[in-house]
Structure 1
Amino acid sequence: MPETARLTQAARAREATLHGQRTPPGRTPPPARRRGPRALLTGLVVTARPRQWVKNLLVLAAPAAAGRLLSVHALTQLALVFVLFTACAAAVYLVNDARDAEADRAHPVKRHRPVAAGQVPVPLAHAVGGALAVLAPLLAAVLASPAVAALLAVYVAMQLAYCLRLKHVLVVDLAVVTTGFLMRAMAGGLALGIPLSRWFLITTGFGALFMVSAKRYSEAVQMAGKDGATRALLTEYTTGYLRFVWQLAAGVAVLAYCLWALEEGGDARDGLLPWRQLSVVAFILAILRYAVFADRGTAGEPEEVVLRDRGLALIGLVWLALYGLAVAHW
């Protein structure tokens, strides 16, 4: 190795040490990042995963299904719950990245995360994450309702347990991630005092399990025969088992939605036509379309699957229109 290259590598190693990083032998450390106030704030926001915030729009699900969105009070409460759920999720991401910083530095992609790269110090990530985890449920108790506060507290506790231990437990990891989606859908109803239908809960829960297990299945298919899976637990699952889970979840979600539509719709309450029953067709088509990506092993993040496929997005809009007509009694 030329002398200049050796000196450059040594300088990088010293720089990484100054930033509290441990670079594995033979691996180039991630680029050093400044720690000014603006850089710290940017790093904290990036660590909070802004792209994941769209999932928190599920707080609109129960009020939308009940036709309770068109009031200033409802929109204000739902906006508050959205922000509080985003804060809770950010707390979990910060604690998770702080805990996994050492392992992330050895990963070719995760090493560029702000905490792993040294842009956000590990103690600061822990402190901000802990503060958000405590403040969000407290604010919910004051500004929303005790039920929402309890839900957020349970969500944070469950997700932190997932980061620390449960993500390494077979099947339980799927249940925890699925429950996180279900809690988002429940939060909006609890904030407005809307009774949650059993069919709503079953459809939402198994629909979430369908997407979560389809994502895991896709990861397992893509990592088959390769070393260094991003989730160690993927080596414990078989692709056949994960396929069974997403197929089972899809079937239960479709059945529950059909029973929900038949129970709630089909009479004069739906308006000119049985819109709720007609929405079953769009719902089933959406499940079948999503299953195409699951079967191919390309079902990643749910929001990315929907946004990148125009056909699936169009079916989703048709379903929204039909269900909206049913709620409006047109």
Structure 2
Amino acid sequence: MAERTTGIAVLDPPAAAHRYPGRPGALAVARGLVRTARPRQWVKNTLVLAAPLAAGRLDSWPGAARLGLVFVLFTAAASAVYLVNDARDAEADRAHPVKRHRPVAAGLVPVPLAYATGAVLGLGAALASALLCNAMTALLLTAYLAMQLAYCVRLKHVLVVDLTVVTTGFLMRAMTGGIALGIPLSRWFLITTGFGALFMVAAKRYSEAVQMEAAGGATRALLTQYTTGYLRFVWQLAAGVAVLGYCLWALESGGVAAGSLLPWRQLSVVAFVLAVLRYAVFADRGTAGEPEDVVLRDRPLAVIGLVWAAMYGMAVADL
């Protein structure tokens, strides 16, 4: 059964709730829970490796094991947030042409089960971080979890604050990796990471606004309070500051290191700028709705990323 709302065909709640006739089996529900935890977005948690990689501090098994633990804990915390978010937004998601197929919105995963699983993962991640990590790492992860849950409940409906919270989540991931290994964090590293994240977040919101203009804000009411012009301004400003921050970060080390053939760190600026320009193509088209899809599916961007990684790796290794 379907109805029309602002020109877009959607499933009404009863139809969505009965998309899965009868009671789904335990295996189907388990798969639905995994899908709700967004495995494809776990790639974002690899940001915990950013500071150690930049500092060349992944040369020991204890350090790698500690970062692996931090990655798992952030993955559990992020999954908890996704489960709670989908449980809260089940009704609204049924009005979205894509989100209505999410397991909770479609009726595969019961709302109470999504809440319960999210609570177990979130509390488990916070407790494990307190027992297994240093105090600052545990504090950051717990603060991340609290902030993201506040975002689900209220902050995602507050103009500009929603952009800030999502951006801060990325920044906290990057900070935690360095803090877990006791690595001093460069101010330029933090600026580049923070504004790079804001660039991608604002580009995503801009893409959503472009694609859902005809929906009258039915799926994300806050989009009606933003204009596409404002969101374009935000992602362009953030891209510029991220590039400037990266340039200052690259130049911070000075010239060619002893034993190096070329100033690889400085040369990596070229690859970084090309990556930003390539991503901006999708942002400008309004097709940067899912950053992980853009990064993983666009081959030229992947090649640029590999070139950047090679250059920076040679800089760290003083080759």
Counterpart of 1:216 (choices 186, 199, 205) is: 205
Counterpart of 1:145 (choices 123, 127, 134) is: 134
TM-score, normalised to structure 2, is 0.91
RMSD (Å), alpha carbons? 2.0
> C-alpha distance in 1, partners of 2:139/2:16?
45
Q: Indicate the residue corresponding to 1:98 in structure 2.
A: 87
C-alpha distance 85-33 of structure 1, shift in aligned 2 (>3 A):
farther
Q: Indicate the residue corresponding to 1:239 in structure 2.
A: 228
TM-aligned CA deviation for residue 138 of structure 1: 1.3
1:266 matches 2:251: no
Counterpart of 1:327 (choices 300, 316, 319) is: 316
1:162 matches 2:164: no
- The one-character-per-residue Cα deviations of 1:1-32 (angstroms, maximum 9, x if unpaired) are xxxxxxxx8xxxxxxxxxxxx95478894233
> C-alpha distance in 2, partners of 1:28/1:208?
36
Q: Indicate the residue corresponding to 1:123 in structure 2.
A: 112
Q: Indicate the residue corresponding to 1:3 in structure 2.
A: none
C-alpha distance 94-24 of structure 1, shift in aligned 2 (>3 A):
closer
> C-alpha distance in 2, partners of 1:298/1:133?
32
Structure 1 alignment gaps of length 5 or more: 1-8, 10-21
Counterpart of 2:175 (choices 178, 186, 202) is: 186
TM-score, normalised to structure 1, is 0.88
Aligned partners of 1:178 and 1:205 also within 8 Å: yes
> C-alpha distance in 2, partners of 1:271/1:123?
58
- The one-character-per-residue Cα deviations of 1:131-169 (angstroms, maximum 9, x if unpaired) are 211110211122221111111111111111111111111
One-letter amino acid matched to 1:57: T
SS in 1 for 2:252: helix
C-alpha distance 282-27 of structure 1, shift in aligned 2 (>3 A):
closer
One-letter amino acid matched to 1:93: Y
> C-alpha distance in 2, partners of 1:31/1:107?
18
1:316 matches 2:319: no
Q: Indicate the residue corresponding to 1:5 in structure 2.
A: none
Q: Indicate the residue corresponding to 1:70 in structure 2.
A: 59
Work out which of the two has the higher radius of gyration on C-alpha atoms and give 1 or 2: 1
Larger mean Cα displacement after TM superposition, 57-66 or 30-39: 30-39
- Which stretches of structure 1, 4 residues or more, deviate above 6 A after TM superposition? 25-28
Counterpart of 1:294 (choices 283, 288, 310) is: 283
1:280 matches 2:269: yes
Corresponding pairs, count:
310
Aligned partners of 1:270 and 1:325 also within 8 Å: no
Provide the identity percentage: 75
1:204 matches 2:193: yes
